[in-house]
Structure 1
Amino acid sequence: MAGRSAFLDLPGAVAGTDPDPGVPAHYGNPVSEQRMLAAGRAIVDLSSRGVISVEGPDRLSWLDSVTSQSLKGLSPASSAETLLLSANGRIEHAIRLFDDGVTAWLLVDAAETAPLEAWLQRMRFMLRVEIADRSEEFATVGRLAARAGDPVPPALAAVAAAPSGVVLDWADPWPEIVAGGVQYASVDEHPGATWFWHETLVPRVSLPALADAVRRGEVGAAGVLAAEALRIVAWRPRLSTEVDDRSIPHELDWMRSAVHLAKGCYRGQETVAKVHNLGHPPRRLVQLQLDGSDAVLPAAGDPVLLAADAALPADAAPEPLGLVTSVGNHHEWGPVALAVLRRQAPEGEPLVVRTEAGDVAASADTIVGPDAGAAVGRVRLPRLGARTR
C-alpha cells in the first residue's frame, strides 16, 4: 500500500490496528463520530484496503464463471458482491465489485489483495482480460448514506475517481435479497434495512485535498471503529473478521447478497447447493448483547460459553459454543458483538464471553437459526425491494 494516510494528520487521529492498520480508528470520540456517520455527515478513511482492476471484454463473464454471484449481465455503473470459494465451498475471498462499463473494480480487505490478484492472474488463461493491483493508485473512502439514493457528498464527489466517466462508487447490496439469493436470517424485518453503505474510490494523490475538506468542515470524518459498530448491528459479515478457514456462506447469511443459487457452475457450487438443499450449516452467526457494567470489552477470538458451564471447573467445562468475531460499542445499544457459534448452541440461554479481564455476561440474538438450510424452518421471504441509489 501507499505511504501514510493524510487522515492520520487530522486532529485527534489515532491509528487503527489489524484488520484496518494505517487508517484512523477514531478521532477522539468514536460515539460522536458514529452518530455523524449514521446521519450521512461523515466519511471513513479506508485507504489501507485493496483495489484490483479487471479490464477487457471477457471480464464479467470470466468473473461470473469463477465466483458465486451472477455477474455477466451486470450493467455499467452497477454494484455487486461475490465470493471466491474453495473447491469444497469454503470462503476464500469476498469481493465488492463495481463495473464502470470498461473495467470491473474489485474492492477487498487489505490482506486479500495480493493473494486474490495472484490467483486471478493464474486463472486468466487465454481470455481477454487484464488484471492489475491498483492499490497504489486508488484509495477507498467509506460512507453511510442517511437514505437510499443520497448522492455522493460534494467534498467527496470533487475528488472521486471516474476514469471512464462514471464515478467509482460501490453501493452495498446488503441486506437486500438479490436475484438468485435467499435469506437465512430468522427475521421478518432486517436490522440492516438502513445500512446504505458506499465505498468510493479516490486517487491517492487526492487524499490530502479530501483531508483538507474535513479540516474546513465541509464533511465530517469518522474512524473505522464507528463504521464497525454500525456494521455489527446491521448483521453485516466481513471477510477479515467473521471468516475463518472453515466458513461457508450459509453460516453468515451471505447467501442473500453474494450467492446466486440458479447460475451455472463455479468452484465450490456443489457444497453451496448440497448444504442449502439437503443439510444445515454446521455453525451460525449471532449478535451478542454484552453487559457493559464492568467496562470490559471482549476481543475477537474470545470464547463464548453457556453461563452455567462458565461456573464449572476448567477441567470439567465443555468446549465453548464458539468465538467472538467482531466487537463494537454502539451509540444506542452499548457493547455489541458478532459471534459464530456451533449449530447446536441453544437459543435463549444466558451466555458469557471469557476475556483476559474476566467473564462478560451476554445474550444472543439469533441471526442464522439452528434449523437453517434444507427447507426446514428456513425463512424464504420476498425480496426486500431494489433500492434506488
Structure 2
Amino acid sequence: MSKIHRNGFLALAVSSALGLSSFAQADVLIGVAGPMTGANAAFGEQFWRGASQAAEDINAAGGVNGEKIKLIRADDACEPKQAVAVANRLVDSDKVVGVVGHFCSSSTIPASEVYDEAGIISITPGSTNPQVTERGFNAEFRMCGRDDQQGIVAGDYIVDQLKAQKVAIIHDKDTYGQGLADATRAQLNKRGVKEVLYEGLTRGEKDFNALVTKVRSSGAEVVYFGGLHAEAGPLVRQMREQGVTAKFVSGDGIVTDELVTTAGGAQYVNGVLMTFGADPRLLPDGKAVIEKFRANGYEPEGYTLYSYASVQALAAAFNGAGSTDGEEAAEWLKQNSVKTVMGEKSWDQKGDLKVSDYVMYQWGPDGKYKQL
C-alpha cells in the first residue's frame, strides 16, 4: 500500500472514530511556499499575488467540491533548511492538502520529500532543475519547464543568433544556477563551442570586479549567467562599468523588474537576454485575469500567472478526483488536461509538462523585458 493511501485510510479511521463525516471539512488548505523575504522576495510576491487571485476567483465560482480554498503563506527565503522546516509546518501544523511551491530548486527538492512522505500533492510554478521530477515521487508536479530544455534554447540562440565563439559561463554554485549553467554549457559544447571561462560566484556577494577582470581577459563575446537577479544585476553593472561589452545572457531566474534595481538602473540591463516560457500575458486565455491584476495596479510579471495556473491545476485535480487525497488528485492530473490562464496544460507520469515553451526575451532601455 502506498504512503498516500495509508495516510488516507488513517484519516478516514480517525474521522470515523470521532463520529465525523469524512466530508466535513471547512476549507481546502493550500500552502504557498517561496521566498517571501530576503534577496529573492520579488518571486515570493509573484507567487502570493498569483495564488491569491486564483483562490479568490475559484472560490467565487463555487470553490473545490463545494468548499473554499484558504491559502497559507510560507516563507522559505530560498534557504533549503528553512524550506524543510516550512514544509514540516505546512504538513503537521497547518494540515494543508496541497502546496504551490517552492521557487528555488534547492528548496523544492528537500521540501518535496516532506510532502511525498505525507501524501500531499505539490506543484512548483518555478523550479526548473530536472531532479525535481526525476525522483519517482507520485504527486510532485511543475508548471514550468526544465533546465535541460531551457539550456538547449539558450545554447542554440548563442550559437545561431549571436554567432558567438567565445563564451564565458558563470554560475552561483546553487542547484538551480549551476544546473542551468551546466545545461547551457552542454548544449554549447554539443554545438562545437567550448567555453573560454567557467567560474562560480557566491550568493549574496556584490563585488564582482575580480571576476569581471577574468571575463575581460578571456575575450568573451557572450557571458552566460546561471543564477538569480540579486547577483545578475551587480554583475552586469560592473561589467559595463569596466568596459566589458559582451552580451549578457541568463535564464528565468532574473524575470523580475527587481533586476533593474539590483543593477542600479535601466541603462545597465538594456540589451540583456534571458530565456523564459512564452509570455502568458500575450495569450487570450488569461486576458480577463490580467486585466483584473492591472486594474488593481499590479503588472502580473514573471511567475504571477504560473502561480495562478498552479492553483487552478490543484483545484481541477481535487474537483476531478472528488477528493483532496494527494494520490487520487495526482493520478487525475496525469490523466487529464487543465484549462489555465496560461492555456491548456497536461502532464506526463513524472509530473513534467508535456509541452515546454522556452523562448528568448530582451530587456530594453525602459527597464522592461519583451519576448523576441
Q: Same fold (TM over 0.5)?
A: no
Bigger share in strand: 1
Q: TM-score, normalised by structure 1?
A: 0.23
